[in-house]
Structure 1
Amino acid sequence: MITVSPLYPLKFHPILKPKVWGGKKLAKLFKKNAVGNIGESWEISGVNENVSEILNGPLKEKSLNWLLENYKEKLVGEKVYKDFGNQFPLLFKFIDAREDLSVQVHPDDILAKKRHNSFGKTEMWYILDVEKNGKLILGFNERMDQKKYLKALSENKITKVLNSETVQNGYVFIIKPGTVHAIGAGILLAEIQQTSDVTYRIYDWDRPDTNGQMRELHTDLALEAIDFTPAKTKLEYSEEINKPTHIGTTDFFSVNKLVLSESFVRDLNEIPSFTVYMCLEGAAIIETDDFSEEIKKGETILIPAQLPEIKFTTNSASFLEVYIP
């Protein structure tokens, strides 16, 4: 193995994704270098052909894949490396929906592995900004089965049976594989998900894409993936100041919210994996024994598993803290 530099808090170049439904908020609110209608900023990604590259420090411009190959469990933790090897297991995004996204569904691990040799797609959404009457589509508004679903689809009445939920800043939702869903117009959110880009589009509002063509629908593929069982998606939590507040846990990751009004030392020894911080508001300096890095609203930073603690120097900042338990 070649000699490599000590690990430190890592920032990555955002991978910006133009979308027909995207807007300007990633540039306006988060100061992303975004031109045009940008729908997604992939903050940390190990997805093939969309692998993140380091933005800061001695390892600048090295890829996330290179990091895994050279640092292994020092980067992600022993259990994570044993389970996933050189595949980074999570994908972090900010999403700006100027218009409604397509109504879609994601497969679980078993179906995604069989069809695409991919992970499934469990997601968590944290709502950051909502324009008036901003809504999400989450499941159905009546008891549904395959026969009723296909009838609504064939009669072009699918929107009449979809469940719509009004949302506010700070709301959190888990989107399990099989849940029919869509992000509504006027919503900005943070998304944490498994490393997967497998999406089955059910309905796209009869809207052409950026190239003027109608996007493909995946009616047959989606049918086997849909879970028609009603499921609770919204998570309830009680926010605390200057200590981590647990928001929720999936089978693949756990998320806390960290709201700081003063400097704070975070002991990471209890966390067996890497830790990722997505900055929701404010700014802070993150320090280790021999490195410091500023993180501001709309930025994301990865703390390698081998670092035992970090210090936040701030008087006002809030973060999502994500790790694999």
Structure 2
Amino acid sequence: MYPIKFHPILKERLWGGKKLGKVLGKPITSEITGESWELSGVKNDVSVVSNGEWAGKTLQQLIDGHPKDLLGQSVVERFGTEFPILIKFIDAKQDLSIQLHPNDELATKRHNSFGKTEMWYIMAAEPKAQLIVGFNKEVSRKEYVQSLDNDTLLDLLNYETVEEGDAFFINTGKIHAIGAGVLLAEIQQTSDITYRVFDFNRRDKDGNLRELHTELALDAIDYGKKDDFKIAYSKEKDRVNAMVDCPYFKTNFLQLTNNKTMNTNDRESFTIYMCVGGSVVVANDYGEAQITKGETVVVPAKSKIISLRTEGVKLLEVTI
């Protein structure tokens, strides 16, 4: 039950670039690498352990063999042996498609999947880089459909200029897109269900327009104007700063200047640390693992004391 690291699962994307390699040290082999899946239980994309005695085993094999010790009693009761979170780093060299994700009810009915609530932490952003998050006014379904027909959807969208350290919470149904020049960490429900509604009329390497999900999206979109997406959080050093507490995950921000011990005796969940700056040795009673910027580690739920040894690190701490 030592702190467990996994091999990244690298994904080519039409909009991807090279920053996952240049900035985060991922072993990319393509100049359009858009995503590094750090921790995944998604079918056909299950993470494989990279350190310690379990090296070579899959996340699912560990869960099947040690469900309560790894996930925690309450997580098993709620999700069974399915890992409930998907962790990624994303490099957008170009704008991503404008998209949204269905809620649990729709995703279960249509795809036998979880919905996709997610959050973003901006690790780097080129000057004037933006996100699209929601609409800039209340929009009716009819007005939305007309904007697709008239190619004026972009006029209805809300644009947010971003910089390092900004964080955003994306509810299901909220229309959104990551803009060119953004490198971010993403925490989300385990789901790969995306409804793409506009793709800037781009074509893939074979000259084809990518599939849109216009009809599926109509019943899934939140047409309201809601300023509920920018996460206001403290960045006080050497303490746990709460960011998100939603039904699907809890995320804290830690900026440590020296060692810290975390008592997790009341936590019935695994703990994930995503390193977004610096480096740290994460240790428990069973072993330790070092992570640097762009790496992720999972501490099994059986751990009740977590030791963080560092001279300087920025971490996203994720639990259920």
- By how many angstroms is 1:86 displaced? 1.2
Distance 1:201 1:161 in 2: 16
1:200 equivalent in structure 2 = 195
SS at structure 1 position matched to 2:28? coil
- By how many angstroms is 1:11 displaced? 0.3
Q: Any stretches of 5+ residues in structure 1 without a counterpart?
A: 1-6
Letter in 2 for 1:319: L
Whether the aligned pair in 1 keeps the contact of 2:137 and 2:224 (CA below 8 Å) is no
Distance 2:112 2:212 in 1: 21
SS at structure 2 position matched to 1:269? coil
Distance 1:12 1:188 in 2: 20
SS at structure 2 position matched to 1:22? strand
SS at structure 2 position matched to 1:270? coil
- By how many angstroms is 1:210 displaced? 3.5
Distance 1:73 1:288 in 2: 17
Distance 1:142 1:242 in 2: 40
Letter in 2 for 1:41: S
- By how many angstroms is 1:204 displaced? 0.2
1:4 equivalent in structure 2 = none
Give me the TM-score of the superposition, normalised by structure 2. Answer: 0.98
2:91 equivalent in structure 1 = 96
Distance 2:2 2:287 in 1: 7
RMSD of Structure 2 on Structure 1 (CA): 0.9
SS at structure 2 position matched to 1:255? strand
1:154 equivalent in structure 2 = 149
Give me the TM-score of the superposition, normalised by structure 1. Answer: 0.96
2:259 equivalent in structure 1 = 263
Matched, 1:125 2:120: yes
Whether the aligned pair in 2 keeps the contact of 1:19 and 1:210 (CA below 8 Å) is no
SS at structure 1 position matched to 2:65? helix
1:3 equivalent in structure 2 = none
Q: Any stretches of 5+ residues in structure 2 without a counterpart?
A: none
Superposed, 1:212-227 pairs within 5 Å as: 212-227=207-222
Q: What percentage of aligned pairs have identical amino acids?
A: 47
- By how many angstroms is 1:289 displaced? 2.7
- By how many angstroms is 1:184 displaced? 0.3
Superposed, 1:66-81 pairs within 5 Å as: 66-81=61-76
Distance 1:202 1:173 in 2: 21
- By how many angstroms is 1:314 displaced? 1.1
Deviation string, structure 1 residues 126-181 (Cα, Å, up to 9, x no partner): 11100011100011112201000001111111111111111111111110000000
Matched, 1:16 2:16: no
Correspondence for 2:248 among 225, 242, 252: 252
- By how many angstroms is 1:211 displaced? 3.6
2:24 equivalent in structure 1 = 30
Correspondence for 1:173 among 163, 168, 175: 168
SS at structure 1 position matched to 2:212? coil
Number of matched residues? Answer: 318
